[in-house]
Amino acid sequence: MHMVELIAKKRDGYALTSAELDWLIANYTAQAIPDYQMSAWAMAVVLRGMDAHETTALTLAMARSGTMLDLHDLAPVTVDKHSTGGIGDKTTLLLGPLVAAVGLPMAKMSGRGLGFSGGTVDKLESIPGFRTALSSDEFRRLVREVGLVIAAQSSDLAPADKQLYALRDVTATVASIPLIAASVMSKKLAAGADCIVLDVKYGSGAFMATKAEARQLAQTMVKIGHQAGRRVSAVLSSMQQPLGYAVGNALEVREAIAALRGNGPSDLVELCLSLGSQLLLMAERASDEASARAMLHEALQSGAAWAKFCHMVTSQGGDLASIEQPDLLPSAPVQIALPAPRAGYVSAIAGASLGLAVNALGGGRSHKEERIDPRVGLSLQARIGDQVYLGQPLLTIHAASMSAVEAVVPQLLAAYQFSDTPVKPPALMEVVPGD
Ligand code: URA
CA distance 423 to 243: 18
Q: Using an 8 Å Cβ cutoff, are 248 and 354 in contact?
A: no
Please enumerate in sequence order all residues whose Cβ is within 8 A of that of 407, keeping only pairs 6 or more positions apart, or say none.
Answer: 360
Residue 84 Cα to ligand 1 midpoint, Å, equals: 5
| Rounded Cα gap, residues 128 and 117, in angstroms | 22
Parallel, antiparallel or unpaired: strands 429-432 and 387-388? unpaired
pLDDT by residue, tens only, the chain of 435 residues: 899 999 999 999 999 999 999 999 999 999 999 999 999 999 999 999 999 999 999 999 999 999 998 889 988 999 999 998 889 999 999 999 999 999 999 989 887 777 777 789 999 999 999 999 998 889 889 999 999 999 987 778 899 998 998 899 889 998 899 999 999 999 999 988 999 999 999 988 888 889 999 999 999 999 999 999 999 999 999 988 999 999 999 999 999 999 999 999 999 999 999 999 999 999 999 999 999 999 999 999 999 999 999 999 999 999 999 999 999 999 999 999 999 999 999 999 999 899 999 999 999 877 766 789 999 999 999 999 999 999 999 999 999 999 999 999 999 999 999 999 999 988 877 676 554
Encode pLDDT of 103-148 as tens digits.
999 989 887 777 777 789 999 999 999 999 998 889 889 999 999 9
Q: State yes or no: is 161 an active-site residue.
A: yes
Instruction: Please tell me the total number of residues recorded for the chain in this structure.
Output: 435
User: In 3D, which of 213, 269, 204 has the Cα closest to residue 238?
Assistant: 204
Residue-level pLDDT at 34: 97
**Whether 432 contacts 233, CB under 8 Å:** yes
In this predicted structure, what is the pLDDT of residue 428?
Answer: 77
Active-site residue identified among 22, 80, 161, 194 = 161
* Atom 2 of ligand 1: nearest residue by CA position: 184
Point out the ligand 1 atom lying closest to the alpha carbon of residue 180. 6
Pocket test for ligand 1, best of 121, 184, 189 (most atoms within 8 A of CB): 184
pTM for this one? 0.90
- Structural domains in the chain? 3-49 (1.20.970.10), 79-325 (3.40.1030.10), 330-419 (3.90.1170.30)
Question: Does the annotation count 72 as an active-site position?
Answer: no
Per the annotation, the verdict on 285 as an active-site residue is no
Q: Active-site residue among 10, 82, 140, 398?
A: 82
In whole angstroms, what is the distance from residue 174 CA to residue 164 CA? 10
Taking residue 215's Cβ as centre, other Cβ atoms within 10 Å add up to: 17
Residue nearest to atom 3 of ligand 1 (CA): 184
pLDDT tens by residue, 187-202: 999 988 999 999 999 9
Helix axes 289-301, 304-315, angle to 10 degrees: 70
Name the residue at shortest CA distance from atom 5 of ligand 1. Answer: 180
Single out the catalytic residue among 108, 162, 168, 375: 168
Distance CA 14, CA 9 (A): 6
Residue 65 amino acid letter: S
**What is the structure's pLDDT at 368?**
66
pLDDT at residue 435, as a whole number: 47
CB-based pocket (< 6 A), ligand 1: 84-85, 111, 114, 165, 174, 179-180, 183-184
**Catalytic annotation present for 183:** yes
Q: What ligand 1 atom has the least distance to the C-alpha of 84?
A: 8
